[in-house]
Amino acid sequence: MEATSSGITNGKTKAFHPVAKDVNILFDELEAVNSPCKDDDSLLHPGNLTSTSDDASRLEAGGETMREKNKSNGLYFRDGKCRIDYILVYRKSNPQTEKREVFERNIRAEGLQMEKESSVINSDIIFVKLHAPWEVLGRYAEQMNVRMPFRRKIYYLPRRYKFMSRIDKQISRFRRWLPKKPMRLDKETLPDLEENDCYTAPFSQQRIHHFIIHNKDTFFNNATRSRIVHHILQRIKYEEGKNKIGLNRLLTNGSYEAAFPLHEGSYRSKNSIRTHGAENHRHLLYECWASWGVWYKYQPLDLVRRYFGEKIGLYFAWLGWYTGMLFPAAFIGLFVFLYGVMTLDHCQVSKEVCQATDIIMCPVCDKYCPFMRLSDSCVYAKVTHLFDNGATVFFAVFMAVWATVFLEFWKRRRAVIAYDWDLIDWEEEEEEIRPQFEAKYSKKERMNPISGKPEPYQAFADKCSRLIVSASGIFFMICVVIAAVFGIVIYRVVTVSTFAAFKWALIRNNSQVATTGTAVCINFCIIMLLNVLYEKVALLLTNLEQPRTESEWENSFTLKMFLFQFVNLNSSTFYIAFFLGRFTGHPGAYLRLINRWRLEECHPSGCLIDLCMQMGIIMVLKQTWNNFMELGYPLIQNWWTRRKVRQEHGPERKISFPQWERDYNLQPMNAYGLFDEYLEMILQFGFTTIFVAAFPLAPLLALLNNIIEIRLDAYKFVTQWRRPLASRAKDIGIWYGILEGIGILSVITNAFVIAITSDFIPRLVYAYKYGPCAGQGEAGQKCMVGYVNASLSVFRISDFENRSEPESDGSEFSGTPLKYCRYRDYRDPPHSLVPYGYTLQFWHVLAARLAFIIVFEHLVFCIKHLISYLIPDLPKDLRDRMRREKYLIQEMMYEAELERLQKERKERKKNGKAHHNEWP
């Protein structure tokens, strides 16, 4: 829904000041036919609708009944007329009494009404109930540019082409055999939200007669009223001086314990929603959105937006879109895995590994690691084939293209949502300045070029110095991450020898797998511990920068936390993918860490199995931990609070709790809003795309997690958290740029994973250059005969260094001491002219790897840019609708102004004050 008014054209606001003469008469008429505090919940309950007939006695009786009901539901003042728009909580024993008294005195001076009530279970806890009268709401709604409905929308049918009409007919015939939209919610259950069918404009008291006002008490919905009250509280002084303002500072210094808007009643009901309807919007959201029984249904995004605001609504819209787009990625990834399963018995490489009982491999660590047959790694070779097979390259290209398609179609989806939710004309300039910024730079002011009003100003030199300090802090923390990864590397190179000398044969024979598994678990624990430190550092650096607006603060904090956590979470993965086993040297001349520890080698079947284990364990553990912390922690906390109340006051006291006390006992929303929710999904998106060539099942795991995540987040928002403050947003913010960066990085990393980590390129070079089919232009399985032997080099055991020489002489294999062993590399034998020098095949493989990286990246980037060019950001029907409505708005503006001028002309004629040269 494009939100424009008779004073708006081309997305800009024009000066338009008609005279509102009959406003008081309009309100008097409305008050004569409506109850003073009719709630929005009446939209959901037909039985609660207030009559609009002229029968005064019936209205009075209905008003009395409504007031009695309002008193009992805990959403109104004691008089049952004034709805509670905001709650403040403090303790009488708190010493900050003077600040609170000044703050509350200034609250009354702003026109807000106040009522206090002590807690049912603790008389020390005081609840301050705030209500904003119509005059206050109107004044601040105009200052905040709150958009309100002013005209009904006029819909029109888009143009239909004959070809598309035929396709629609064929699709409709096919749909007759399918269930009728099983994923859509029942329209009879959901209310018809009125503002979705109206044009909107920034509220103005001078143009109040243009807006659709059926009842001034319900004109602003509950979320908007709470947002206006919060805006007022953020700018009220609690001490003399500009630095001493704002509710946030009082919450920080402990003057108030909590501040929140109320939920609209209980989310449960004794009666079924199908027979008796929803009790309130919260109950409706629980039944149609947060309940686990509707996990396969679409989300009621319009209702989510109305209850929680546009910012939270956009998050769930994006999460739903991301989850839907994961279906094709998960299907293709599962197909690649199943292709590996089906072709496992026909894979020549794994066959040769399993049959290589006569090939003895060199030890993978100093002294304690024994010689081993290549056939002992048969299982690992087969598991590697499940992920590294002929379909892997196709899947990597597909996922790079998928990431682009996902982002481009999200742009279109976001445009439709922004139109429907009245965000097209919402500009960042409308956002308020942070109170902390105002207090810090109140002495320096300059004229805002857009609004023409003076505002606080931060000098360029001050801003640059703060950014330099912040960037230095970020660099230092990233160095801390790298140091932690270095510690994990040392752990791996030290413990591989320890596990090789272990008493248990199971661990001794699988020392590399045990090393990798324990290293991943330790790395995960370090990640969790460092995240706590990173959060405090990022908060400190962001506050040091002094961002101007809340969105700038969120973007700055988001970028820092994402950089910290992304490097923290993926640094070990990058090490395993691109460094593990690449710089170890060769037997007899190993490269060592601090000239002491021998660097870790890959398994005889390659390093891909280590990368798969790293990704699988981190992804599963991370998502499991996040789900527990998101839902399990609030559930446990709320259960513990209820348990303490039952023990102290008995179970029957719970029933008498008013709504504000029930909400106070819930958990507050995260201090950083939706940051944790977005960050979890963005990091998951990175796992799904960056190393997907090594782990094709990542999209499937992400899909299963997200299906649970949507309902888990919904349940948490509706039942376990206090109601968050509704706020506006036009997009998902800086997260979109981060997603684009991850999409570009995924192309590069997948190219390197295929070229360097996997054996795809060496196998291809062997098939076309060195195998039985060399020069014939074929690359089938028969062309891979002898590949394993060609990829292994020979080492003379007598050339071992003293500190590397194994304790065993290998006589257990053939009865006599071994003279030679094999290792993964392309090097000359010990008796050649240049012992252990690189062979020609090594240089061919290296050239092929570099060529593949260049060709893969250029090809995929060209496809990505082509797709971005072909997919427009705005759907054509939406663009036509916006142009159509712009035309209609101009017509409405002309008709409204003409009607007003004609009315004024008639009044002048009646009064005998007609003037010449009047228009029209």
Contact between residue 592 and residue 598 where contact means Cβ atoms under 8 Å apart = yes
In the chain, the N- to C-terminal Cα span, in Å, equals: 33
CA distance 294 to 317: 16
The structure tokens listed for 689 are 């795309």
CA distance 544 to 859: 44
User: Residue 919 contacts by C-beta under 8 Å, 6 or more apart in sequence?
Assistant: 901
Q: Among candidates 37, 34, 604, 685, which has minimal Cα distance to 349?
A: 604
Residue showing tokens 């491999």: 361
CA distance 916 to 590: 103
CA distance 253 to 245: 12
The structure tokens listed for 480 are 């801390």
Q: Among candidates 83, 72, 125, 85, which has minimal Cα distance to 261?
A: 85
Contact between residue 125 and residue 89 where contact means Cβ atoms under 8 Å apart = yes
User: Residue 11 contacts by C-beta under 8 Å, 6 or more apart in sequence?
Assistant: 4, 424, 425
State the DSSP code for 83.
B
Q: Is the dihedral of CA 105, 107, 111, 116 positive or negative?
A: negative
CA distance 799 to 797: 5
CA distance 507 to 4: 70
CA distance 634 to 719: 10
Strand order in the sheet with 372-373: 372-373, 360-361, 820-824, 792-796
3-state secondary structure of 585: strand
Dihedral in degrees, nearest 10, Cα atoms 202, 204, 207, 213: 80
CA distance 419 to 736: 19
**Segment (H or E) for 301:** helix 301-308
Q: What is the largest CA-CA distance in the chain?
A: 128
CA distance 146 to 728: 10
Q: Among candidates 41, 83, 43, 49, which has minimal Cα distance to 65?
A: 49
Contact between residue 210 and residue 216 where contact means Cβ atoms under 8 Å apart = no
Q: Among candidates 396, 894, 276, 281, which has minimal Cα distance to 693?
A: 396
CA distances (Å), origin 510, targets 97, 98, 154, 515, 516: 66, 69, 71, 9, 10
Contact between residue 757 and residue 694 where contact means Cβ atoms under 8 Å apart = yes
CA distance 510 to 136: 72
CA distance 581 to 369: 16
Angle (CA) 575 579 581, round 5°: 120
Contact between residue 101 and residue 88 where contact means Cβ atoms under 8 Å apart = no
**How many CB atoms are located within 10 Å of the residue 466 CB?**
16
3-state secondary structure of 155: coil
Contact between residue 680 and residue 626 where contact means Cβ atoms under 8 Å apart = yes
- pLDDT reported for residue 508: 62
Burial 802-828 (b: 16+ CB within 10 A, else e): eebebebebeeeeeeebeebbbbbbbb
User: Residue 883 contacts by C-beta under 8 Å, 6 or more apart in sequence?
Assistant: none
Chain length of the chain: 920
Dihedral in degrees, nearest 10, Cα atoms 806, 812, 816, 817: -10
Residue showing tokens 């939706």: 674
Residues with pLDDT less than 50, the chain = 1-61, 157, 160, 429, 653-654, 915-920
CA distances (Å), origin 375, targets 351, 356, 378, 508, 759: 9, 5, 5, 17, 18
The structure tokens listed for 625 are 């931990």
**Segment (H or E) for 372:** strand 372-373
Residue showing tokens 């950001």: 873
Q: Is the dihedral of CA 605, 608, 614, 615 positive or negative?
A: negative
Alpha carbon 808 to its chain's center: 55
CA distance 107 to 246: 11
Contact between residue 599 and residue 592 where contact means Cβ atoms under 8 Å apart = yes
Contact between residue 441 and residue 460 where contact means Cβ atoms under 8 Å apart = no
Quote the strand ranges of 602-715, DSSP E. none
- pLDDT reported for residue 27: 31
The pLDDT tens digits for 465-511 are 888 988 888 888 888 888 887 888 788 777 776 666 666 666 666 66
**How many CB atoms are located within 10 Å of the residue 381 CB?**
25
CA distances (Å), origin 197, targets 8, 39, 251, 300, 427: 18, 20, 39, 16, 22
Contact between residue 130 and residue 247 where contact means Cβ atoms under 8 Å apart = no
The pLDDT tens digits for 569-628 are 788 788 888 887 777 888 878 888 777 777 777 777 777 777 887 777 777 777 777 777
Q: Among candidates 209, 227, 68, 92, which has minimal Cα distance to 146?
A: 227
State the DSSP code for 818.
-
For the CA atoms of the chain, what is the radius of gyration? 34
**How many CB atoms are located within 10 Å of the residue 592 CB?**
16
- pLDDT reported for residue 512: 66
**How many CB atoms are located within 10 Å of the residue 800 CB?**
18
Contact between residue 84 and residue 70 where contact means Cβ atoms under 8 Å apart = no
Q: Among candidates 268, 275, 265, which has minimal Cα distance to 307?
A: 265
Contact between residue 720 and residue 635 where contact means Cβ atoms under 8 Å apart = yes
Backbone φ and ψ for 18, nearest 5 degrees, come out as -70, 160
The structure tokens listed for 445 are 């002011």
Contact between residue 135 and residue 217 where contact means Cβ atoms under 8 Å apart = no
